[in-house]
Amino acid sequence: MQFSEFPFHKSILKAVAEERYHTPTLVQEQAIPKVLAKKNVIVSAQTGTGKTAAFALPIIQILFDKQGLKEEEGKEIKSLIVTPTRELAIQILENFKTYSKYTNLTTAAVFGGVSLEPQKDILAHGVDILIATPGRLIDLYLQGFIDLSAIKIFVLDEADLMLDMGFITDVKKIERLCPKKKQTLLFSATIPEKIDDLAKTMLKKSVKIEINPEETTAKNIGQLLYYLPKKNKTDLCLDLLRNTINGKIIIFRRTKIGVDKLEQTLLKNDYDVVSIHGDKSQAIRNKAIEDFRNKKATILIATDVAARGIDITNVDAIINFDIPNIPETYVHRIGRTGRAGKSGIAFSFCSPDENSYIKTIEALIEKTIKIIVDHPYIINKPKHKKLQPNTVSKNKKGRKSEASKKNKKRWY
């Protein structure tokens, strides 16, 4: 199927063609007709599947149908997209702006961590489509800068992350501030029970679309598991960076302190590294993502929440420096690589306190992750494999010694 087969106005098709989207992705093929038919839709699909366009394009079409190319006086918010993080809000805004550039529809995003004033100014001019994080939206609403009484399409994006971040009460509040009669779309990477319950209360007579995240991520991603003591994780990380992994790498850590510590170590070892986590200012986080996108930095260290949903293509490898305690998080993390049919590789470092997380991850992905036994820091050594000595040199500039080059292949 081609995009031109959707009943989109030519202004939308022109913008899509400029983005070089020819064939719709699976989620777009399934969701767009339902959204255009004004159905309530629950979609389980991860970022990277093209889900933003799956809701943005039909929303633009529906609003465009009402408004055409005419400038409207006193614009009111007709579509509200609620998303959990600032990065996602910015990304969705960019998508809407791109797809609607040949229409007169206006889009804005409001999110916390930055000054309220510029956001108030934008809202005062009137927007058709508003993208918002829950806290800032409620804040601006209570101050009287947001009127949700004309909402026709309400989108809840990354619902499971909303749940993880404790936003569900806010989301319910926001939904109640919108008119009862509206179209609601719920997007979530996974649909745990609590999200299913939320969907039942918020979306009446809904259509369900499921794009299996495990299938989409696991197919072309090599997954390798290293059992080792916690104290050796930094050594293993440096060894892999020197001898095994090439290209663009995202390293995931569970805590902000962990991100900062590892960043300092990698900087000392002359790596081009940037990092993102919740304690960093929006400007610094944006700059880090930009530097990583355009390859000024080859390594991005991130916490899960900060990295969730960020669209960075061509990531060659993922390092799970800490094993996530929520199995779905593992799927999200490794889904950052191996996108759009490309291959990718995910390295996971498991210390003894994290052993039980591996079991739950393997149960979710329905496969066993390949254990690497041939590395210098191994513990829980399986009986049939021989332990290799650490012959990897750690020279200061991160250059490979002859011994380490020889070792390179053995680690797979």
Q: Which residues of this chain interact with ligand AMP, rule CB under 6 A?
A: 21, 24-25, 28, 47-53, 311
State which residue, 47 or 107, has the beta carbon closest to ligand AMP.
Answer: 47
Q: How far is the CB of 315 from ligand AMP (least distance, A)?
A: 12
Q: How far is the CB of 293 from ligand AMP (least distance, A)?
A: 11
State which residue, 48 or 84, has the beta carbon closest to ligand AMP.
Answer: 48
Q: How far is the CB of 36 from ligand AMP (least distance, A)?
A: 16
Q: How far is the CB of 245 from ligand AMP (least distance, A)?
A: 23
Contact between 355 and 393 (Cβ < 8 Å): no
Q: 């969907």: which residue's tokens?
A: 199
Q: Which tokens sit at 264? A: 């300092």
Q: 């989620």: which residue's tokens?
A: 27
Helix (H, G, I), strand (E, B), or coil: what is residue 216?
helix
State which residue, 31 or 146, has the beta carbon closest to ligand AMP.
Answer: 31
DSSP bridge pairs for 345 = 222, 317
Residue 114: count of CB within 10 angstroms of its CB: 14
Q: Which segments of 143-187 does DSSP mark as H helices, in order? A: 159-164, 168-177
Q: How far is the CB of 335 from ligand AMP (least distance, A)?
A: 10
State which residue, 24 or 258, has the beta carbon closest to ligand AMP.
Answer: 24
Question: What does each C-alpha distance from 162 to 18, 158, 188, 198 come to in angstroms?
Answer: 33, 6, 9, 11
For 335-365, letters b (16+ CB in 10 Å) and e give bbbbbeeeebbbbbbbbeebeebbebbbebb
Give the CA dihedral 69, 75, 80, 81, nearest 10 degrees: 60
State which residue, 189 or 199, has the beta carbon closest to ligand AMP.
Answer: 189
Q: How far is the CB of 106 from ligand AMP (least distance, A)?
A: 21
State which residue, 52 or 275, has the beta carbon closest to ligand AMP.
Answer: 52
